[in-house]
Amino acid sequence: MSDVTANSANSTNSASSGTKATEIATFGGGCFWCTEAVFDEVVGVTDVVSGYTGGQLANPSYDDICAGTTGHAEVIRVTFDPAVITYAEILEIFFATHDPTTLNKQGADRGTQYRSAIFVHSPAQSEIAANTTAKLNAEKIWSSPIVTEVTNAAIFYPAEEYHQEFFKRNPNQGYCMAVVSPKLSKFRLKFVSKLKR
């Protein structure tokens, strides 16, 4: 399966190199300011980068993405230590912190760039994503079925610098106060055991 990053040939450390192995998870759950803020606080996560993937245009800008014509989704690329948190646990948080039943929208954000999507980096991730989706559908947590797209990881383009750590740097910005902060509060209450200390 493809695991291509625009600015990095290999973001996963090799256990044989003497460093701790890490794994990459890439997914979109609406505005990346929200998802990045959540996963910045997750134990075992060592890096979160906001960006774009899944489209046709090379090196898209935020303006390109907002036009909704490039096919890209707003996503985050999460680097994590699987010895501390598993991919299945990462997906549990992903599904619990957005609405995976609304096609091409999250709240007031509408367009294919806001779609619920998991971009898998290995057959193992693909299997876990399929099993997690089936389990959650069977549990009928939501009144509608999950519409989350599961597809192979493609080229990842990091978003412009001003998008990175946006909530941390702009907590009093209107969208952050109205949307990101409440989402973060709900996440902290639900996943106390998964918070960085």
pLDDT band, residue 20 (cuts 50/70/90) = low
Give per-residue pLDDT as tens, 88-139: 999 999 999 999 999 999 999 999 999 999 999 999 999 999 999 999 999 9
Q: Which of 151, 152, 136, 140 is nearest to 94 (CA)?
A: 136
Between CA 115 and CA 29 the distance in angstroms is 6
117 close to 151: Cβ distance less than 8 angstroms: yes
Query: In terms of Cα–Cα distance, which of 91, 70, 72, 71 is closest to 80?
Result: 91
Catalytic: which of 31, 34, 66, 176?
31
Neighbours of 2 (CB within 10 A): 10
**pLDDT tens digits, residue range 168-195?**
999 999 999 999 999 999 999 999 999 9
So what's the pLDDT on residue 197?
85
31 tagged catalytic: yes
Q: What is the DSSP letter of 86?
A: -
pTM for this prediction? 0.89
Cα–Cα distance for residue pair 24/180, rounded to 1 Å:
23
Strand partners, 23: 80
